[in-house]
Amino acid sequence: MAAKEDLYAKVTPRRQRQSRPSIIKHGSTLDVLLSMGFPRTRALKALVSTGGKNVQAACDWLFSHVDDPFLDDPLPREYVLYLRPSGPLLQQLSYFWQQSRLSCGKNKAHNIFPHITLCQFFMCADGKVEALCDALQATVAKWKARIPMPLPLELYTSSTFIGLFVEEQVAEVLKGFAADFASEAAAKADVHVEPHKKQLHITLAYHFHASHLPVLEKLAKNVDVSSGCDWMAVLFSRDIRFANHETLQVMYPYVPQNDDELELVLGDFIFTSPVEQSSASEGWVFGTSLGTGQSGLLPENYVNQADESDTWVVHGYYSLLQCVNSAYLSNSSQCKNESSMQVLRPATQSSLSKMRLFVCRHGERMDVVFGKHWITQCFDSKGRYIRSNLNMPSSLPARSGGHRDYDKDCPITVFGSTQARLVGEALLESQTAIDFVYCSPSLRCVQTAQHILQGLQQEGNTKIRIEPGLFEWTKWVSGTSLPIWILPAELATANLSVDTTYRPHIPISKLGVSESYDTYISRSFQVTREILAECKSLGNTVLIVAHASSLEACTRQIQGLTPQNSKDFVQVVRKIPYLGFCACEEIGETGLWQLVDPPILPLTHGPNHSFSWREMLMHD
């Protein structure tokens, strides 16, 4: 393989190349793409670039990169193996990240999430990535019982660096794990992996101003390194062409006015480099789109700085947690539920190996409580929102189409937010961590998911994936058009924890008005299966926040049962209250699921009529 310097030199002049497309995870997925007529190199590149998610994601990538000048370039991606914390320790580290940014601004450590580096970046051909993932899985299986948990960490500070270092003896064990992965990778995928030789650590801050040291040091000392934690061995990849570029995120869409300008799509990422800015005038930058691979000039004030790791792709994600027996859990101070921050999974082997699916209805909705005309009551002639009841939210997200779009896409009430937080707090109390959250695009569902995560103390750590395929039966939508939903990037701008990089399994364009019952049931079953397949081996627990109908539609067929007729279905749906909650558990490796008792108690609530003191208490 060519030297790394030669590869970088090869991709520096980005503007003269001709275009074409590419994909990974693989086997049958690759066969499907090949049968659709895509060239093998393109199919493999698309699979690699989407983490081997599914055929739909790969096809979407290929179609969006049809004019990418590097589409047929054989240049491989770069890979790296990290240990990532989760649970309470991650929450503490994320809080440090947040507070240090607020107090001292962004420093170099913030470009990547909290992690321990196990090897240097290395390259792997697209066709060998599946074998590389197999190498990691085999290594984790061999070493899982040999890595002491929890990892002992010690704070170190200097005038230019702050970090948490792994105790030397345990660090040697981790280095042995990394060396074994390097051997497996060489044998299975024919790649050279260089294990990290320096002291293993989590970097908290570096490249910061000297005056910021006291504040950063104080914040670092507040991190409780004994907090419970499940360490994950995660294999990431990045596009080698942009390894030394600044990463920006599009905040506003832009339609090109000239041939040399780049179209901007809300939520997309843009890569820029100082060496490419010679053609850019003041207020403009030259960059390349992650979403399309195309390059051009763009207005500087339409993008914001983002983290480098926001654009990375996950290829393998394996837990190293060894708190699997009750004796260890009862005797280890690190694994006791001594703090409200603790979010440890139950100490049973089944809970660590079986996947669980939770499906939850959204919270109380505004138009049901205050009637269909609540919009005219709450918005003035200039479109400004003013609440008229304490159960109305104090503010609402701005909508690009105006406040009339709330007519078909209403928010939840204050009490709806409280209901959702109660559910999150109950999950926290039951020591249930949520690994993935998928959500209908309806605002009431997104807000409900957000407040559940707040109650769970996972807000900001777990991103909400907006999945249009989870929307309710479109026959129930009034009028001749679907709701105009708030885009994920706009939701993120409104401080909702939304994953703006997520590519839906069923895009909005695939939803039809007044679909048949069979189409809705089929859609719900398809998207549920694809979500579960996507999360397989990456985490134990998936939460879907959607509609009353979703509790039946998303769980019945994965149990191997045939759908009910539409009349019986409607009768079941009518009885499901706000925040109705159900749980399913995977049955071994059969591919089937069964309904089980949820880890939380049910939430019962009753109606509360409007009260007017004038009408009730003022008498002649």
Rg over CA atoms, the chain: 25
Identify whether 150 is preceded by a cis peptide bond (ω within 30 of 0): yes
Phi-psi region of 537 (alpha: psi -120 to 50; beta: other; left: phi over 0): left
Q: Do residues 160 and 190 lie in contact, with contact meaning Cβ atoms separated by under 8 Å?
A: no
In angstroms, the CA 56 to CA 411 distance is 30
Of 232, 255, 348, 242, which Cα lies nearest the Cα of 290?
242
Of 254, 309, 285, 315, which Cα lies nearest the Cα of 501?
309
Q: How far is CA 500 from CA 78, 149, 246, 270, 299, in A?
A: 23, 34, 18, 14, 21
The structure tokens listed for 568 are 């019986």
Q: Taking the CA atoms of 387, 391, 394 and 400 in sequence, report the sign of the dihedral they define.
A: negative
- Coil, helix or strand for 28? helix
The structure tokens listed for 280 are 């850019």
The structure tokens listed for 273 are 């480099």
Q: Where are the alpha helices (DSSP H) in 478-565?
A: 488-493, 517-535, 550-553
Query: Known catalytic residues?
Result: 361-362, 547
The structure tokens listed for 64 are 């969006």
The structure tokens listed for 589 are 């490796």
CB atoms within 10 A of CB 136: 23
The structure tokens listed for 158 are 């200097």
- Coil, helix or strand for 13? coil
The structure tokens listed for 389 are 């009841």
Q: Do residues 485 and 442 lie in contact, with contact meaning Cβ atoms separated by under 8 Å?
A: yes
| 358 DSSP β-pair partners | 543, 583
Q: Taking the CA atoms of 34, 36, 37 and 43 in sequence, report the sign of the dihedral they define.
A: negative
Of 474, 473, 453, which Cα lies nearest the Cα of 462?
453
Of 418, 412, 408, 380, which Cα lies nearest the Cα of 396?
412
